[in-house]
Structure formats: structure tokens, C-alpha cells
């Protein structure tokens, strides 16, 4: 049975926590910031999929349909779920083994034990157990994570407003 995006993201958060516990010594400020941002991305991902799937269920959407007055489109194919802002540059998806957030040509992919930051054609994959090394290469992370978090915040706010407007409990 395929794993739901929410179960997957919760598992990724547990794996990140376990990697930190196995790490030696306390966390530096830049490491705490990186880990906090990754956890924030995971948390927003859980909320967005929970609300997006709830809103699509309330509209009896099958494999493809629009939610929130046509502002967002949701597509389900096998173990893939994609939620995209119509006419915009935000795409949030889950493929069964990865959670992906894309805004313009930049984004983040979160696997069960790693994350990958990418910008245009350059990408860097970092294992959860490599967070100390990742914090040293923080430039790309600092450039992309705020963009990703802003996209997730906008999606979350949009879904909250939509659920209130349609009086759907999500």
C-alpha cells in the first residue's frame, strides 16, 4: 500500500531528528537554523497536503480538479499527488519517495533521509546526517529556503481561507 504524503513527511521528520541525536556535540547557530528551516518545510508540507486533500475530497475531485475557486489544481496519479497554483509559479508535489516544492527555477526535494536544494541546473543533495557539512555550504540553502518557505506559507494561507469560505473542516 502506498504511503500517504503526510506519513512520508512525518517519517522524514523522525529520520532528521534521529540524525541529529546521533550527531556529536551541541548544534551551532547555523546548524540550528538549517535544521529548523527543514523542519518548517516539512511541517508546512504536512499541513498543505492535509488541507489540499481535504478540500479536494469535499469537492468530490477524482484524479484531476480545481480547488479554491480554481486558484489551485490538484492532480493524483498512482502514488503521485501534485498541487499547483494556477497561472503562478508554485508547485508542491509528492511522488511516493520524495516531497518537492518548486518556485520559479528553484526548490527543495525532501527524501526520507536527505534533502536536495536546486537552483536552475545546479543541485546539491545533502543527507540528514550531513547537516554539519551542509551548514558550511549555506549560501545556496540561504538563498533558496526563504523562497520555498514563502511559497509554502502562501499555499497554507490560501487553503485556510478557502476552508473557512466553504465551511469545510480540514
Reported as a single tens digit per residue, the pLDDT across 52-76 is: 999 998 888 888 999 988 899 999 9
**Residue 72, pLDDT score:** 93
Which residues of the chain carry a pLDDT beneath 50? 1
Q: DSSP letter at 159?
A: H
Choose among 105, 101, 71: nearest CA to 88.
71
**Residue 24, pLDDT score:** 65
- Decide if 114 is inside a domain: yes
- Decide if 65 is inside a domain: yes
**Residue 1, pLDDT score:** 47
**Residue 156, pLDDT score:** 94
Bridge partner residues of 74 (DSSP): 65, 83
- Decide if 76 is inside a domain: yes
3-state secondary structure of 96: coil
- Decide if 56 is inside a domain: yes
**CB distance 139 to 146 below 8 Å:** no
- Decide if 128 is inside a domain: yes
Residues 6+ apart with CB under 8 A from 44: 149, 152, 153, 155, 156
- How many structural domains compose the chain? 1
- Decide if 156 is inside a domain: yes
All cell numbers assigned to 47: 499541513
All cell numbers assigned to 97: 519517495
Choose among 26, 21, 45, 24: nearest CA to 115.
45
- Decide if 170 is inside a domain: no
**Residue 9, pLDDT score:** 94
169: enclosing H helix or E strand: none
**Distance from CA of residue 61 to its chain's centroid?**
22
Write out the residue range of the structural domain in which residue 23 sits.
5-165
- Decide if 110 is inside a domain: yes
Amino acid at each position: 500500500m502506498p504511503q500517504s504524503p503526510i506519513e512520508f513527511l512525518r517519517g522524514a521528520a523522525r529520520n532528521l531528528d534521529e540524525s541529529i541525536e546521533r550527531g556529536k556535540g551541541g548544534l551551532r547557530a547555523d546548524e540550528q537554523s538549517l535544521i529548523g528551516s527543514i523542519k518548517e518545510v516539512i511541517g508546512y508540507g504536512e499541513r498543505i497536503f492535509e488541507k489540499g486533500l481535504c478540500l479536494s475530497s469535499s469537492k468530490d475531485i477524482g484524479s484531476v480538479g480545481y480547488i479554491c475557486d480554481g486558484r489551485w489544481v490538484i492532480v493524483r496519479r498512482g502514488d503521485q499527488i501534485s498541487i499547483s497554483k494556477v497561472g503562478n509559479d508554485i508547485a508542491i508535489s509528492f511522488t511516493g519517495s520524495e516531497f518537492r516544492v518548486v518556485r520559479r527555477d528553484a526548490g527543495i526535494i525532501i527524501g526520507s533521509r536527505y534533502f536536495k536544494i536546486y537552483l536552475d541546473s545546479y543541485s546539491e543533495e545533502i543527507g540528514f546526517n550531513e547537516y554539519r557539512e551542509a551548514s558550511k555550504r549555506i549560501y545556496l540553502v540561504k538563498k533558496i529556503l526563504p523562497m520555498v518557505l514563502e511559497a509554502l506559507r502562501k499555499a497554507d494561507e490560501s487553503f485556510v481561507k478557502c476552508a473557512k469560505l466553504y465551511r469545510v473542516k480540514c
